[in-house]
Homo-oligomer: A and B are copies of this chain.
């Protein structure tokens, strides 16, 4: 072979190699682009279906108006179990079953009184209150005592023996300057959660807690108290934010105010109840479970439209949208309606125990329990690998208004599953209105925007769609 031929040979070889590489590169780019187009098309189909013919709002209207309040152990909770089982059967999911769990059974009783007895300025003043969940009642004889206001546990502890026999009034407001109202809630809810225990340690006779509302309102917010088996359980009530301000104002001028409290709550024996579960079986990786849920119980005072009827119907809707659109998931998608998030978390605990005992492979657990408001993003508690994979999908969500993928989170009910190592994702709606309704009689269906609710279900379904398609590995 002469040199020029050899050169020509090498030249051609280089050219061919270059072109083959270019060709392969173009192929890869085209495929990647096609994949992105397919993803965005799939997601658009989901959003279109939810906005045109979504059933979330219709379901939520039924749950709120036909059943209404559904505190653990109540007839409403039992009806909600039957309702959601029936709903998932009606939509023809591959399997629907109940997972029995015993739940706490607290009842409020009829009468709730808080009355300032001796204001020189205003005479007798009725305060708008409600007993907090889990609280013992005062009984018919009530409790009368001097009231002392504190802002936090440090102030309480400094009072020392002065607390003995008194009613402690926790009055630290939620910080209105926090943009996330959940952050504001997190900064104040210790008063409701453990105020009664901390005050009882020092001998208080009862506690009044400023409601967990960020605005000035006329109604109280109920919610759970975490009592300790080692400290005497004392009665605990929440007072409306307006009357918290009034009481505080009166106390500034009259230190020796006496308040009369009367509640008739009772803690009954644990009651039988259930988580309600529906699933669509995966076609390729049936054992890989994508879990999506909300909690079925609500407080007794509320229809529980946002807390957490929204999460319940959105979870059912995710599976229904898959069926309506004929999407056959590769992995198993499971909707879980957890029982007893509000005052015990027995449903979430039971679910995780069972999953562990059966050695089930939950590749992710998603919860919607921050209300049925307009979508903002997703929160995550997972490895960086998982978080980055989900963040890489952000451009697919941005056209629908979901831009916040940067905060940790998940959900109370999926917490026990998270503790076993399952990545947790929380649906993140706009939080501005949540604490106007949370745990109050105002949490009703008319406070829910149909479009905001359906958009949330579509966002969750789109996330499940992507996880099913690409897994989280």
Chain A residues close to B by CB (< 8 Å): 47-48, 51-52, 176-177, 179, 181, 214-215, 374, 376, 399-401, 403-404, 430, 432-433, 436, 449-452, 455
A400 to B179, CA, bound (A): 6
A400 to B430, CA, bound (A): 11
A374 to B176, CA, bound (A): 15
Q: Specify which chain B residues have a CB less than 8 angstroms from the CB of A400 in the assembled complex.
A: 179
Whether A177 contacts B455 by the Cβ 8 Å rule is no
Whether A450 contacts B401 by the Cβ 8 Å rule is no
Q: Specify which chain B residues have a CB less than 8 angstroms from the CB of A433 in the assembled complex.
A: 449, 451-452
Q: Specify which chain B residues have a CB less than 8 angstroms from the CB of A176 in the assembled complex.
A: 51-52, 451
CB-nearest residue of chain B to A450: B215
Query: Separation in Å of the A127 CB from the closest CB of chain B?
Result: 23
Whether A51 contacts B177 by the Cβ 8 Å rule is yes
Whether A214 contacts B451 by the Cβ 8 Å rule is yes
Q: Specify which chain B residues have a CB less than 8 angstroms from the CB of A449 in the assembled complex.
A: 432-433, 436
CB-nearest residue of chain B to A47: B177
Q: Specify which chain B residues have a CB less than 8 angstroms from the CB of A177 in the assembled complex.
A: 47-48, 51-52
A374 to B48, CA, bound (A): 23
Whether B51 contacts A401 by the Cβ 8 Å rule is no
Query: Separation in Å of the A188 CB from the closest CB of chain B?
Result: 15
Whether A432 contacts B403 by the Cβ 8 Å rule is no
Q: Specify which chain B residues have a CB less than 8 angstroms from the CB of A403 in the assembled complex.
A: 403
A221 to B192, CA, bound (A): 45
Query: Separation in Å of the A196 CB from the closest CB of chain B?
Result: 29
Q: Specify which chain B residues have a CB less than 8 angstroms from the CB of A47 in the assembled complex.
A: 177, 179
CB-nearest residue of chain B to A180: B401
CB-nearest residue of chain B to A177: B48
Q: Specify which chain B residues have a CB less than 8 angstroms from the CB of A450 in the assembled complex.
A: 215
A422 to B258, CA, bound (A): 64
Query: Separation in Å of the A295 CB from the closest CB of chain B?
Result: 24
CB-nearest residue of chain B to A48: B177
A401 to B47, CA, bound (A): 22
Query: Separation in Å of the A9 CB from the closest CB of chain B?
Result: 51
CB-nearest residue of chain B to A430: B374
Whether A374 contacts B52 by the Cβ 8 Å rule is no
CB-nearest residue of chain B to A400: B179
Whether A215 contacts B430 by the Cβ 8 Å rule is no
Supposing A47-B179, A176-B51, A177-B47 touch, asked if A401 and B374 sit within 8 A by C-beta, the answer is no
A48 to B176, CA, bound (A): 8
- Output the residue of A48, A214, A401, A404 with the most chain B CB within 10 A: A401
Q: Which of B48, B51, B432 has a CB less than 8 Å from the CB of A451?
A: B432
Q: Specify which chain B residues have a CB less than 8 angstroms from the CB of A215 in the assembled complex.
A: 450-451
A421 to B48, CA, bound (A): 39
Q: Which of B48, B179, B399 has a CB less than 8 Å from the CB of A401?
A: B179
Query: Separation in Å of the A93 CB from the closest CB of chain B?
Result: 26
